[in-house]
Structure 1
Amino acid sequence: MIRVLFLAQLREQLGAAELQVVAEDVVSIATLKQYLVAGHPHWEQFLSNSKLLVAVNHQYAKADVALKTGDEVAFFPPVTGG
């Protein structure tokens, strides 16, 4: 299983904080996004945001990063401060 977290404003937009995905169903962050949108079409507008950040096991990651059983993937909007 892969643990998928939705943080900050994204959690409210999607109406979900976390879910589990079978690792064999996805091979990368890009395919994970496709998998999530296939199950929740209304999430596409939020997960396709070019500014959306992704971390795999607490390390920033790009769409082509490979995923495996036991990984934790977090999606979150960019953080700004003042």
Structure 2
Amino acid sequence: MARVLLFGRLADQAGWRDRRIEAGDLSTLRAVLSAADPDLGAALAGPGVQVAVDKVLVRGEAALTTGAEVAFLPPMSGG
């Protein structure tokens, strides 16, 4: 079971920040989140959203070990 963290507008949109979800890989996790909340699924697939698995940014697919921490990070702004 992975610990899923949402930050910024993603957490605001979902109405939660921290959940535990069963998934063996990142694509399955995204599918589970999208099935539960299609709007959140679309937001997670949006431009600029980054994913960190166990505090390491990943691109594309990643396997999730038991107890993995998956953080979805919204696009950053600033100057």
| TM-score of the superposed pair, with normalisation by structure 1 | 0.84
Is contact 1:28-1:63 (8 Å) kept?
Answer: no
1:43 corresponding residue in structure 2: 40
**Post-superposition CA distance 1:23-49 (Å, at most 9, x none):** xxx222122111111122232221121
Partner amino acid, structure 2, of 1:49: G
Which among 24, 39, 50 is matched to residue 53 of structure 1?
50
**How far apart are residue 56 of structure 1 and its match?**
0.6
| Residue identity (%) | 35
The answer to whether 1:29 aligns with 2:26 is yes
1:3 corresponding residue in structure 2: 3
**How far apart are residue 9 of structure 1 and its match?**
1.7
CA-based RMSD of the aligned residues comes to 1.3
Is contact 1:5-1:17 (8 Å) kept?
Answer: yes
1:68 corresponding residue in structure 2: 65
**Post-superposition CA distance 1:21-76 (Å, at most 9, x none):** 12xxx222122111111122232221121321000111101231111101000001
Specify every segment of 5 or more residues in structure 1 that has no aligned partner in the other structure, as ranges: none
Answer with 48-57 or 37-46: which moved more. Answer: 37-46
**How far apart are residue 81 of structure 1 and its match?**
2.1
Specify every segment of 5 or more residues in structure 2 that has no aligned partner in the other structure, as ranges: none
